[in-house]
Each structure stands twice: as C-alpha cells, then as structure tokens.
Amino acid sequence: MRFLFFLRIEVNIVAEPNKQQIGDGGDNIGQAAHKTAEAAKQISKAAAEKAAVAGAEATSTAAGASVAAAAQGGQAAASVAAGTAAGGPVGAVLAAAWAMRHTLFKILVCICLVLVFFITAIVSLPSIVFNNIFHTDPDSIDYASGDIYEIMEELSGVVSGCVTNGYDAALAKVEKAIEDGGYDYELSMEALINHGYASATYDICYILAAYSASMEQRGTRKSNMEAKLNSVADKMFPVTYVEKEMERVIPLTYTTYSAGPVTVVTGKTQTGTINGVPQYRYTTGTHTYYTPSGEATTTVPVTRTAYQSVSVEVPVYAGSTVTGSRIETYYTASGTETLTPDTEMIKYIEATIGEFDQSVILKAFNIDPNAVYNQFNITYAEAIQNMANALKRTLYGTTVSGNIPSVTDEELLKILNSLNCSGARKALIQAAFSLVGKVPYFWGGKSAAGWNDEWNTPKLVSAAGSSSSGTIRPYGLDCSGFSDWVYKTALGETIGAGTTGQWANSTAISYGELKPGDLGFNDPAGSPNHVLMYVGKDYSGNDLWVHCSSGSGVVVNSPGYIKYYRRTNNIDLESNTVSGGSYGEALYTIQVDVTHYCACTKCCGSGATGTTASGKQVAVGMVAMSNHYPFGTQIMINGTMYTVEDRGGSGIENDTSRVDIYVPDHQQALRMGRYKTTATIYRLGR
Ligand SMILES: [Zn+2]
C-alpha cells in the first residue's frame, strides 16, 4: 500500500520537472510527503495490530510490523527505503532528482526528495533508534525538529566513547609491551605502525543497526549497548608486535682547541744569593700553543688534527718583574687522529595497531551474521546492512556524502541581486555560497580566510568529542568553523570559536528581524548545538539557511529545527562598503610531521619540569620545534594557531619539519599519535 503513495509523488516530479510547477506552492511536495507519512503511519498501525493478532511479539512496533509485512511482500522495505532496490520506484525518483541538479532552486527539489526518503525511512526505522533504544514512541517525535539529530548525537557519543576505550586499550597494550620487555620507549613509539587512528571504518549506523537487530528490535537501554560494546573494547583494535634491535651511535663529545700566543720562560741566569736563596734573571719569549676552546659532538667519525699536551714553563711576575716560573699545560698540534663514536645495541618493538575490527560488533551483540533474521526472512548480515543504510538515509539523506551540487557564478549573481540587504551582508552570502557543495563536514574543522587547498584531502580528526575523532576524513569545516570562515573571508572579522563562542559573541533577535548573514541555532548555548547562517526566502517563501551540516557538508536548505536567531556583535553589518577580509599574513607553508607530547617523564625524560625551553609554564597552544624556528613563531596547523615555545630532543632539533604539539595528558598524546600535514607559518619569532 505504501508504495502507491510513492508512485504518486514520483509521477508528480518526473512528469512535471520544471520549476514553476515544482515550486509554486500548489504542489507542495513537503506537504504531500507529510500526508503520505501520516497515511503510512496509520497503515503501519493497522499492520501492527494485525501482527499482534497473529501472535507476533506484543512489543513489536507498528513500524517494525510494517517492515516485516513489506519484506514478506518480496522486497525488504528497509532496502527500498535506502533507495537500493534496483530499478524500483525510489531509484527512479533519485535518478530524476540528480539529473535535475543545476540551479539552487533545484537543490531544494533534491532536498524535498530527501524529505520523502526521510519519511519513508522513518516509517521503516523507528524501531532501530527511537522506539527500541530509547523507548520513544515515533508518534511523539517531531521529525521536523532537531530531535532526531540530538538523539543520534547522543547515541554517537555512546558508541564513540566505547570505540575510544577500545583504542585506549590498544595503546595501553603497546605501552605495557614496551615496559614489560624493558624496551626503549622512544624508539618503540617512533616505530609504532598505527592503523587505528587512520581507521575510518567504524560505522555508527551499522553498530546501532546491529544492536537493534541483536535485540530483535525490542526495547532495551543504551547502557546495555554500552556495556556490551565495552566488553569487547580490548578486541576492537588488534595489537601485534615484533622485537627489533638496532645499533645506536652514542654521540661522542670531544674538545676543540684554538691557537694563541703564550709568554714562556726561555732561559734563566743566576745573579746571586740573598739569605742563601739563589736569585735568577729570566728571559722570556712568545710561543704559539693550543688551548681548549669548547666542545663538539659527533655521531660520525671525525678525522682532525691531533693535539698533545705539553708542560710549559711560564713566568711569574711581581709587578713587571719576573720573579719566578711555574709549569702550565698547553697543547701542541701534530699529525691527525680519527675520533670514532661508540655504538650500543638497543632493543625496541615495532608494534602494529590494526584497523577497527568490525567483527567485534557482532561478537559484542552475540550475532551470527548468517543466521536467519526471522522478522524479514533474510540473514542478520543483510538485515543489519539494510537497516544501517536506511538509518543513514534518514539522517543524511544519502548513504554516501558529496551529493550536494555547487552554486554556479550565474546562480550566485541572481541570488545576490535578489537579496535586499547591505553590501556587507551580501559579501557574507557570497562567501558562504562559494563553499556550497565543495567543502565536507569535518569535526573540529576551522580554516583561515580564503580557499584552503587542504579541503577534501584526508586529515586526521584531531579534535576530541566526536564519533569521528581519531579517524581520517576528508578535511573540511565544522558548523561554527564554517560561519567563522564566512565572516573572516567576507569581512575580515572573526566571530569566535565553537557554537558556544559564537552564541556569546551575538545577541538575540526576533524571527522578524532576520537578515542575510544573521545566525540561527537549534539550541541555547552550551548544549550540543548547530549554527547556521540565514540567507533569505526562496520563491515559495521558505527560509533558506546555509550551513555546514555533519551529514552533507556545506549546503543550502530549510531545516525546521532552528529555534534561536542571533546577530553578531560589534560588526558593521549595514555597511555597503566592504573592505575585503584577510586573516593575518601567511608567510609560507611547510610540510610538517606532527607528534604530540605531554609534560610527563615518558614524554620529556626524567628531568621533566613543566617549563618550556623558552621559560614558560607549558600550556595548550604551544609546540616544540627545532631552533630553526625562533620562540614566538606562529604556525597554523589544521586551522589552529600554535606558538613555538619549546625545543625537543635530537629527533626534533635535527628535523625542521617536526612539530611536537603539547597536550595536557599522556593518554591524549598517545591518542593523537603522529601524522603528516601541511602547516602555515604566520610569523617568525616574537
Ligand atoms: Zn606523556
């Protein structure tokens, strides 16, 4: 029955794909879809009642029964919801939508279609997230609000916490192996092959789907899921190691010499005796001898002039008269000698932290992937994959990212001309739209003004607090990173870090006061939050917002969850003259090899004091680099500005590409590991 509604929508879109008809409000796809959903809910309820009568689990949800019914009809509904049914009606709609993705207007069409999927998926899926994990009645959830994202964020946090525990367990195994074997810590950590932090393979939707399947989609608690995941934490990232040995040169320190004139006694003649003591007259001359001038250190053999010590008789004066002599030691040069540093054998381990092992998820939830999932008559593996895909559709509108079309210059011009606002506000919209469809979402992603060549290249998610922390993702911006980038690029103004900072740097305005460039939030400051930038209204009168969404990257759409409207403080938004923003002056970029350290004895040796080489109390934001970079040098790494305040051991001192970033605790230093990236030097020295 449900598919009939889909077909109807499909016909509307495919038969009349021109924008007047799609956008004129008469066809209101969103409303149609809403009605579809309402109808589908009713059908689902009826199906559930039937299922209950048939002796199915009384706790089966309406939607779950609906899915089962559809599956018995020959096709897994979850798969259809995910748009994966080859040639099916949904696939056709999808193809039609992408074929039309040219104008901004049509982006909205795509978004409406996503809404259709959204509702489809919800009908199939509440049993995955909402009902069974949270005991939430799907009828009580306002899908247009941000609830679904908040719930997902919370669940992602639980899973992410468990995976972090797994990763910590792997790091602890490496450290224990080093300690137990008495291996060299620094060499072992340098040799660590860490696929763990480069592993982007753990999949929140898959894990939630697997959990839900393991419970046969019956109610349970997230603490139960958490406990089960934690029970396999130490198996999430497999650790292996091999013992290695290397000959290490012990640096040889030797004395250097410099030549200089020395007054020496060249003869003495007895001139008489006073009180029985012989008296002499001395003659002196000047000879050249060598004296120690300092020390040098080498790790390779050095052939140089050989020096021998000699005893030299030098005069002793009383005033200007020589009254005696004494013996001093000087050096003479003759021949050559070769200084060869000693070597020692060092034992260390080359440990490997493997990629996240997804099979532990099945172990955690005690799932046999080949067993038949009775509700759908497919295997557990298939059911989990279908549900995971459907959940992604629900949350992101797609199972993959990168489907947002970008805005052409022509479209941008039209949009800007249609905006009735100041030059400053137009500059904001112009900057914001320049990234639509081009920059992915990246947790903790910040960037200086202007295009960043690192966007879309793989980078480690180094900010904590996300399910993606510690994984490699295409580099981009997070939501507040995007809004700040827009202000920096358009107006040369920063509006603060994070949604909390931007909330603090702005003042509440009413909905009626909204103008292009103003900000919207889904929550008050502090809670998990999302910040968006207001664009204006589309032809149908819907509010458009441009933002960097965790599902799709920079996008323009009309989310229904924005509850708070704010205007940035102390920025002249009504100015028509825009000076053009810039953000400091980048001097040059360098490739860097980034490591992390804390102030502990493992990281800094037994003499660790917590004071940097520049004499400051070590703090977040400081890095150690070779003395090629004077203290005070400012270096931007992945959007964060650091100051060089520290030096390192020979590994850092001899390598100008090494940057050691200070972090407050050892576990964090371990987690962040080592990676290469491009950094920008903004200033050399203070
Ligand atoms: Zn440490």
Q: Helices 479-491 & 423-433, crossing angle to 10 degrees?
A: 130
Ligand 1 center to residue 670 CA distance, Å? 8
What distance in Å separates the CA atoms of residue 115 and residue 13, rounded to the nearest whole number?
Answer: 14
pLDDT tens digits, 167-181: 889 999 999 999 999
Ligand 1 center to residue 625 CA distance, Å? 17
DSSP-derived 3-state class of residue 568: strand
pLDDT tens digits, 401-440: 334 556 666 566 667 777 778 888 988 988 898 888 788 8
Ligand 1 center to residue 346 CA distance, Å? 21
Ligand 1 center to residue 646 CA distance, Å? 15
Task: Quote the Cα angle for 217-222-226, to 5°.
Answer: 115
Residues forming CATH 2.40.40.10 domain(s) in the chain = 588-683
Ligand 1 center to residue 186 CA distance, Å? 11
Ligand 1 center to residue 599 CA distance, Å? 6
Q: Helices 62-72 & 29-53, crossing angle to 10 degrees?
A: 90
59-68, 345-354, 656-665: least confident range: 59-68
pLDDT score for 502 = 93
Give the 3-state secondary structure percentages of the chain, helix then strand then coil, rounded to 5.
35, 25, 35
CB 565 within 8 A of CB 517: no
Sequence-separated (6 or more) residues with CB below 8 Å from residue 265: 282, 283, 284, 313, 314, 315, 322, 325
Tokens representing 148 are: 């679904």
Ligand 1 center to residue 387 CA distance, Å? 42
Ligand 1 center to residue 607 CA distance, Å? 13
User: Rounded to whole angstroms, what are the CA distances from 615 to 203, 304, 633?
Assistant: 45, 37, 15
pLDDT tens digits, 511-558: 999 999 999 998 876 666 889 999 988 766 778 899 998 767 888 887
Confidence of residue 360 (pLDDT cuts 50, 70, 90): very high
Ligand 1 center to residue 233 CA distance, Å? 23
Ligand 1 center to residue 41 CA distance, Å? 55
pLDDT tens digits, 23-76: 222 222 233 333 333 333 333 333 333 333 332 222 222 223 222 222 222 222
User: Rounded to whole angstroms, what are the CA distances from 297 to 70, 253, 340, 508, 634?
Assistant: 78, 4, 11, 64, 31
Of residues 88 and 587, the one with the higher pLDDT is 587
DSSP for 166-211, please give it.
HHHHHHHHHHHHHHHHT--HHHHHHH-EE-STT-----HHHHHHHH
Ligand 1 center to residue 604 CA distance, Å? 7
Per-chain residues with Cβ under 5 A from ion ligand 1: 598, 600, 602-603, 666, 669
Tokens representing 221 are: 């608690």
Ligand 1 center to residue 174 CA distance, Å? 14
pLDDT score for 125 = 41
pLDDT tens digits, 288-342: 999 999 999 888 999 999 999 999 999 999 888 888 899 999 999 999 999 999 9
Q: State the fold for domain 588-683.
A: Barwin-like endoglucanases (2.40.40)
**Percent of the chain residues topping a pLDDT of 90:** 26
Tokens representing 243 are: 């013992």
Ligand 1 center to residue 464 CA distance, Å? 17
What distance in Å separates the CA atoms of residue 297 and residue 253, rounded to the nearest whole number?
Answer: 4
CB 603 within 8 A of CB 415: no
Q: Nearest CA to 537 among 421, 406, 433, 419?
A: 419
Over 60: is that where the pLDDT of 103 sits? Answer: no
Residue 216 identity (one-letter amino acid):
E
Ligand 1 center to residue 313 CA distance, Å? 56
Ligand 1 center to residue 164 CA distance, Å? 18
Average pLDDT over the chain, rounded to an integer: 72
Ligand 1 center to residue 593 CA distance, Å? 18
Confidence of residue 487 (pLDDT cuts 50, 70, 90): very high
Ligand 1 center to residue 310 CA distance, Å? 50
Q: Phi, psi (5° rounding) for residue 207?
A: -65, -45
Ligand 1 center to residue 610 CA distance, Å? 11
For residues 188-211, give the mean pLDDT: 75
Ligand 1 center to residue 488 CA distance, Å? 36
Residues forming CATH 3.90.1720.10 domain(s) in the chain = 409-568
Ligand 1 center to residue 624 CA distance, Å? 14
Sequence-separated (6 or more) residues with CB below 8 Å from residue 383: 76, 78, 209, 213, 373, 375, 376
What distance in Å separates the CA atoms of residue 622 and residue 610, rounded to the nearest whole number?
Answer: 12
Ligand 1 center to residue 350 CA distance, Å? 19
Over 50: is that where the pLDDT of 265 sits? Answer: yes
Q: Phi, psi (5° rounding) for residue 80?
A: -65, -45
pLDDT score for 675 = 75
Ligand 1 center to residue 672 CA distance, Å? 12
CB 221 within 8 A of CB 134: no
Sequence-separated (6 or more) residues with CB below 8 Å from residue 346: 184, 187, 245, 246, 247, 248
Q: Helices 89-99 & 104-124, crossing angle to 10 degrees?
A: 160
Q: Which helix (H) or strand (E) holds 291?
A: strand 277-298
Ligand 1 center to residue 180 CA distance, Å? 18
Ligand 1 center to residue 665 CA distance, Å? 6
Over 90: is that where the pLDDT of 590 sits? Answer: no
Ligand 1 center to residue 642 CA distance, Å? 19
Q: What is the pTM of this model?
A: 0.48
Ligand 1 center to residue 503 CA distance, Å? 35
Q: For domain 409-568, which architecture applies? A: Alpha-Beta Complex (3.90)
DSSP for 203-247, please give it.
-HHHHHHHHHHHTTT----HHHHHHHHHHTHHHHS-EEEEEEEEE
pLDDT tens digits, 128-182: 444 433 333 444 444 444 555 566 666 777 887 888 889 889 999 999 999 999 9
Question: What ranges make up the beta strands (E) of 524-657?
Answer: 531-537, 543-549, 553-557, 564-568, 588-597, 622-624, 634-637, 640-646
pLDDT score for 566 = 95
Ligand 1 center to residue 663 CA distance, Å? 9
Q: Is 620 exposed, middle or buried (0-12, 13-18, 19+ CB in 10 A)?
A: exposed
Over 80: is that where the pLDDT of 510 sits? Answer: yes
Ligand 1 center to residue 650 CA distance, Å? 18
Of residues 665 and 626, the one with the higher pLDDT is 626
